Amino acid sequence: MNLTTAKVVKLEPHQHDALLSIRNLTVSFRTDKKHTVDAVKGISFDIPRNSTIALVGESGSGKSVSSLAVMGLLSPDNAVVDPKSSIMFEGRDLLTLSIAERRKLCGKDISMIFQEPMTSLNPVFTVGFQIGEVLQQHMGMNAKEARARSIALLKEVGIPSPETKIDAFPSQMSGGQQQRVMIAMAIACEPKLLIADEPTTALDVTIQKQIIDLIEALRQKHKMSVLFITHDLALVGEIADRVIVMRSGEIREKGDVRQIFEAPRDPYTKALLLCRPSLDNRPWRLPVISDYMNGNPLGDHAELVQKQRSRGLNGKEDIILEVKNLGKSFYTREGLFGRKEFKAVKDVSFKLARGKTLGVVGESGSGKTTVGLTLLRLHQATSGQALFEGKDILSMSNKEFMAYKRRIQIIFQNPYASLNPRFTVGQILLEPMRIHGIGKDDKERVDMALQLLQKVSLPVAAFHRYPHEFSGGQRQRIAIARCLTMKPEILVCDESVSALDVSVQAQVLNLLQDLQEEFGMSYIFISHDLAVVKYIADQVMVMNQGEVVELANSDELYHNPQNPYTQTLLRAIPRGLQSLVA
């Protein structure tokens, strides 16, 4: 807004000490010409100088909307900020500044790291150009000065060979390196306030730890404040001084990080802390948000939440799948006639017991997803065998393998991309049954589909709706229901809960365990979240650079890891309050 008269805001005494002070922030979005929905409902909080404030909550809680309001990035076409709201930064109300004044301030004194670096970085420009653009725009540097400063920034955030990487495009860098470039852009002008919006959500546990440590080191070095936005309370103990817990656009609780962990007052805060799998225990059923919000902390499943589940193999189990010396290579052209080989999977061997879960962990690029896709023949194996009840499914013809397709299924990581947006849920469930001849007619298939929806806790009305009408957790349930139409014996779960809020993650993990008990399915559970893997897996296989470096029962591996790489992974797990004590 370009106002000729600035709004006069009476400051409370403690607001004078805050770098940023938000009062009565209310943000609504227009759904049509007559209706709006409130995304943020009159929230107030302060960010002191040289401190880190964590803003915690599930998707839809209003965390990101609040940060976008600070940055002035809300769309004026459908976002409405209540005129009674104020966002004071060093005594100036950001909501009364002109667009030019806001642009000058945001990027220099206030900057932001966005959640998804691949969509935030421009794919057609080098990373050096994009960092240099910030320096030229806000610091008035020429091209030569900006390049020298960009190299120094890339070095500061830990990018190897910055003199070379400065000319790389985002697609030529790993996810962790892309996020480091985003951080370099954000600190280029040495801002007073850095907003980090879910900066580690899709990263491996080791890269996540590196990014957390980097943000904290930069905060101390540059004496800046940080607003750290996350849905994972376990991360908060690693970085925050104070915590603000949001739900449905409102602040449910705020306080010192130790108080939040040791004595949370609000049931929602308690639920967020306890929904995430712990390294110390393995309840038969994970508690979910609804268990706490109805006034009965353990809900209708108190006995199952308190009962401990044992995991592990004794060596006498029936083996449904045996993989021997599996290898997978990818080739790229080199020169006119040559080609270069990249070995993504190298001599991998393991056994999968019937009705049990094998967890597969490792960083991005370790080969774990390639193993899963190769077993489903979505990649063609370069070498090795996969014996399904004694028969090698990798050497079968397509016709022979058709009978096995329904017996081994996969849940992909991204439920948004794996469901056809043009199909209703009913069509998504009926299609595989028709292809494989399951059910004698469509009436019987519809009945089976409705039963499966009930099985995954979705209403019957979902049958006629489209995927975009559901939340991420509900879409993942639809993906699971689609797999169940095949009545599979082996289910490959490829990072199937990694992008979900902790409460939705708990619901899906409970569902997977219930289905395993009912149908006796075997899972290959691929994940970079080691706390989740310890909770659900009987045996854990650790992969590094395409090779298996350790394979053991889950409790044994977590309590006594043998390989240095496994030890590094385990040390990087966020431990919440334990990190404060350490």
Q: Is the pLDDT of residue 136 over 50?
A: yes
The pLDDT of residue 3: 38
Q: How far is CA 96 from CA 8, 69, 83, 366, in A?
A: 10, 12, 10, 50
Q: 152 Cβ partners below 8 Å, 6+ apart? A: 162
User: Residues 559-572: what's their mean pLDDT?
Assistant: 92
The pLDDT of residue 472: 72
Q: What is the pLDDT of residues 81-100, one digit of tens each?
A: 999 999 999 989 999 999 88
Of 5-19, 186-200, 326-340, the poorest mean pLDDT is in 5-19
The pLDDT of residue 305: 63
The pLDDT of residue 298: 55
Angle at alpha carbon of residue 287, lines to 281 and 288, rounded to 5°: 145
The pLDDT of residue 300: 53
The pLDDT of residue 457: 81
pLDDT band of residue 295 (cuts 50, 70, 90) is low
User: What percent of the chain lies above the pLDDT cut of 70?
Assistant: 93
Q: CB neighbours (10 Å) of residue 320?
A: 21
Q: What is the pLDDT of residues 234-263, one digit of tens each?
A: 788 888 999 999 999 999 999 999 999 889
Q: Is the pLDDT of residue 511 over 90?
A: no
More confident residue, 200 or 217: 217
DSSP 285: S
Q: Is the pLDDT of residue 339 over 70?
A: yes
**Beta strands 225-230 and 193-197, pairing class:** parallel
User: What percent of the chain lies above the pLDDT cut of 90?
Assistant: 53
Tokens 């849905």 belong to: 231
More confident residue, 126 or 32: 126
User: Residues 104-133: what's their mean pLDDT?
Assistant: 89
Task: Sketch the domain layout of the chain as residue ranges.
Answer: 353-381+393-581
pLDDT band of residue 297 (cuts 50, 70, 90) is low
Q: Is the pLDDT of residue 219 over 70?
A: yes
The pLDDT of residue 202: 65
Mean pLDDT of the residues in the chain: 87
User: Residues 180-184: what's their mean pLDDT?
Assistant: 91
The pLDDT of residue 522: 96
Q: 195 Cβ partners below 8 Å, 6+ apart? A: 67, 70, 71, 110, 111, 112, 113, 226, 227, 229
Q: Is the pLDDT of residue 80 over 60?
A: yes
> Residue 581, exposed/middle/buried by CB under 10 A (0-12, 13-18, 19+)?
exposed
Q: What is the pLDDT of residues 376-414, one digit of tens each?
A: 999 999 999 999 989 999 999 999 998 898 899 998 877
Q: CB neighbours (10 Å) of residue 460?
A: 11
Name the pTM for this structure.
Answer: 0.81
The pLDDT of residue 116: 73
Q: Is the pLDDT of residue 233 over 90?
A: no
The pLDDT of residue 277: 86
More confident residue, 576 or 169: 169
Of 147-151, 422-426, 509-513, 541-545, the poorest mean pLDDT is in 509-513
Q: How far apart are CA 333 and CA 327, in angstroms?
A: 20
User: Residues 496-501: what's their mean pLDDT?
Assistant: 77
The answer to whether 434 and 406 are in contact (CB under 8 A) is no
The pLDDT of residue 486: 87
The pLDDT of residue 520: 92
Of 127-131, 139-143, 164-168, 294-298, the poorest mean pLDDT is in 294-298
The pLDDT of residue 337: 77
User: Residues 274-284: what's their mean pLDDT?
Assistant: 84
User: Residues 286-299: what's their mean pLDDT?
Assistant: 70
User: Residues 297-318: what's their mean pLDDT?
Assistant: 75
User: Residues 149-168: what's their mean pLDDT?
Assistant: 92
Q: Is the pLDDT of residue 225 over 60?
A: yes
pLDDT band of residue 10 (cuts 50, 70, 90) is very low
Q: 221 Cβ partners below 8 Å, 6+ apart? A: none
User: Residues 172-180: what's their mean pLDDT?
Assistant: 83
User: Residues 153-179: what's their mean pLDDT?
Assistant: 88
Tokens 């900066």 belong to: 199
Whether CATH 3.40.50.9100 fits 353-381+393-581: no
Q: Is the pLDDT of residue 129 over 80?
A: yes
User: Residues 327-354: what's their mean pLDDT?
Assistant: 89
